[in-house]
Structure 1
Amino acid sequence: MVNRRDWAAAARLLAEHRRWVADALDLDLGTAHPDAGGEFTDPSRFYRPPDGVLVMAKSGRRPIGVVGVHRYAGEVGELKRMYVSPAGRGRGAGRGLVAAALEAAVELGLAELWLQTEPETMSVAYRLYREAGFVDIAPYHDLGVTGVVTLGLRLPGASDRTHERHPRTGLSDESAVRTA
């Protein structure tokens, strides 16, 4: 988890990620996602429990990557902004960030974790998500970018609940959450 001393470094990594996505996918994350504004203007507030958490990877004392988890609706969260800086790649930071994000999601009380990614451009992240057990689900937000896929994962401890997905949006119908 990002501590008070690390928020400036985390904000720099998030800005670096935003620039990378803008260049790679011609997509401004600040305007493409309905709740992204607060994410970039005040990440320490956006990623604050009980609705969010930001995890940072370090090499020694140097920050090299981040990933966020934010409550999307009810017991559904979104894995957001996984990014490892070029200097930090190839050291297992991405795998560690995915594992830490899953743990954080469980700690937030989430039953499902969703994400959107572009497998060709973000091939390493896509492979890590698949290795972690993420599967294809219905899109929950149209980013307007060709090739983006939507993935979801049932989290440990959520097996005693079932979610029915809304046929149009793909969102979990919270009124359909029930104990098995």
Structure 2
Amino acid sequence: MTQPAPTITVETPLSDDMGAMIGELNTLLLTLSPPEACYHMTPEDMAGDATTVFVARVGGKAAACGALHRHDGGVAEVKRMYTRPAYQGHGIGSRILDEIVRLAECEGYSSIVLETGDQHPAAWRIYERAGFTRCGPVLDYPDSPYSVFYSRPLAASQETHQ
């Protein structure tokens, strides 16, 4: 039996099912990296104006999420990318990443960056297929053996952010 096609929409991170999914992500990350190397945004942090949260739903159930977090200086950041295990391997994470990149381009950002863990090869493949390349530390993240950093230039299509 095949799963229904996912729908991806912008949603609040403050719903119960989003809170549960973010909790799962935090638990997973703490099994892969020490707490000082985990840069979690809480659902409340994600609800601010600087962040847009994309949620993929399959049959109405939250299956995956990712967020665009805006910074000064024309830089956007990918945050909180997660696909629940039952939905992995179906391209949902890549589709969410595409939405994040598209929004950053539409809003005029010149580059998009991210920090991920050193134990996340599946995530690296998604980012690299989407045109991201490894780089040194980005934004205010410390240089850490537990972190892997990526960046990608964007073809800004509207206003430029200062």
Query: Does the CA contact (< 8 Å) of 2:11 and 2:54 recur in 1?
Result: no
Q: Which residue of 2 aligns with 1:127?
A: 125
Structure with greater helix percent: 1
Equivalences for 1:96-135 in 2 at 5 Å? 96-119=95-118, 121-135=119-133
Query: Does the CA contact (< 8 Å) of 1:22 and 1:28 recur in 2?
Result: no
Query: Does the CA contact (< 8 Å) of 2:33 and 2:146 recur in 1?
Result: no
Q: Which residue of 2 aligns with 1:3?
A: 11
Give the Cα–Cα distance (whole angstroms) in 2 for the partners of residues 5 and 45 of structure 1: 6
Q: Deviations over 1:143-170 (max 9, x none)?
A: 64x2422110111237xx8xxxxxxxxx
Query: Does the CA contact (< 8 Å) of 1:77 and 1:113 recur in 2?
Result: yes
- Equivalent pairs, count: 149
If the length of structure 1 is used for normalisation, what is the TM-score?
0.71
The CA deviation at 1:28 is: 5.5
The CA deviation at 1:6 is: 7.4
Q: Which residue of 2 aligns with 1:177?
A: none
Equivalences for 1:1-180 in 2 at 5 Å? 1-4=9-12, 7-27=15-35, 32-33=38-39, 36=40, 39-40=41-42, 42-46=44-48, 48=49, 51-119=50-118, 121-140=119-138, 141-142=141-142, 144=144, 146-157=145-156
- Residue type at the aligned position of 1:42: E
**Higher RCO (C-alpha under 8 Å, 6+ residues apart):** 2
Unaligned runs of 5+ in 1: 162-173, 175-180
The CA deviation at 1:53 is: 0.6
Percent identical pairs in the alignment equals 21
Give the Cα–Cα distance (whole angstroms) in 2 for the partners of residues 80 and 44 of structure 1: 9
